[in-house]
Structure 1
Amino acid sequence: MFAIVLNNLIDTGLVGHLGAAQVAAVGSAGFVVWLIFSIMDIFAVGTVALISRHVGAGEYEAASEKS
């Protein structure tokens, strides 16, 4: 998440001299990128938890099916 914030700050700095509408567009696009990465993180964390549960129970076949 730090990389997303840093990228958004750099983009804002590069576009800052163009005008308020352009800075607003960078801010809106940054929010969309953050939202997409957050949704991807939900699936990643859920998948890791599911696989860890199967590995902890010794169910290696079930764990490999989930990955």
Structure 2
Amino acid sequence: MFLTGAGAVAGTVEMLPSLSSTHQPFRFVAMNEDDECRLRNLIQISHDQNRREHQFIIKDRTW
């Protein structure tokens, strides 16, 4: 179970080889439809926010 700003997301994960002593990569291998939808929405919101921030930086950059 992973806690997010939009609630918990439950699923079965596979732990991947770690390249760092502070981060543990993983991938979801199974998840119910509601949790998958919640996770997809969170990823989309994060992506959109990052894109807006990047566009703001580029717009205000002095060339």
Aligned pair 1:36/2:49, yes or no?
A: yes
Which is strand-richer, 1 or 2? 2
Q: TM-score, normalised by structure 1?
A: 0.48
- Taking the TM superposition and a 5 Å limit, the aligned residue runs for 1:13-52 are 13-14=27-28, 16-48=29-61, 51-52=62-63
Bigger CA radius of gyration? 1
The separation in 2 between residues aligned to 1:18 and 1:36, in whole angstroms, is 25
Q: Which runs of 5+ in 2 are unaligned?
A: 1-24
Q: How many residues align?
A: 39
The separation in 1 between residues aligned to 2:38 and 2:46, in whole angstroms, is 12
Question: RMSD in angstroms over aligned alpha carbons?
Answer: 2.1
Q: TM-score, normalised by structure 2?
A: 0.51
Q: Which runs of 5+ in 1 are unaligned?
A: 1-9, 53-67
Divergent runs of 4+, >4 A:
none
The separation in 1 between residues aligned to 2:31 and 2:56, in whole angstroms, is 37
Which is helix-richer, 1 or 2? 1
**Which residue of 2 is the match for residue 5 of structure 1?**
none
Instruction: Give 1:21 shift.
Output: 0.6
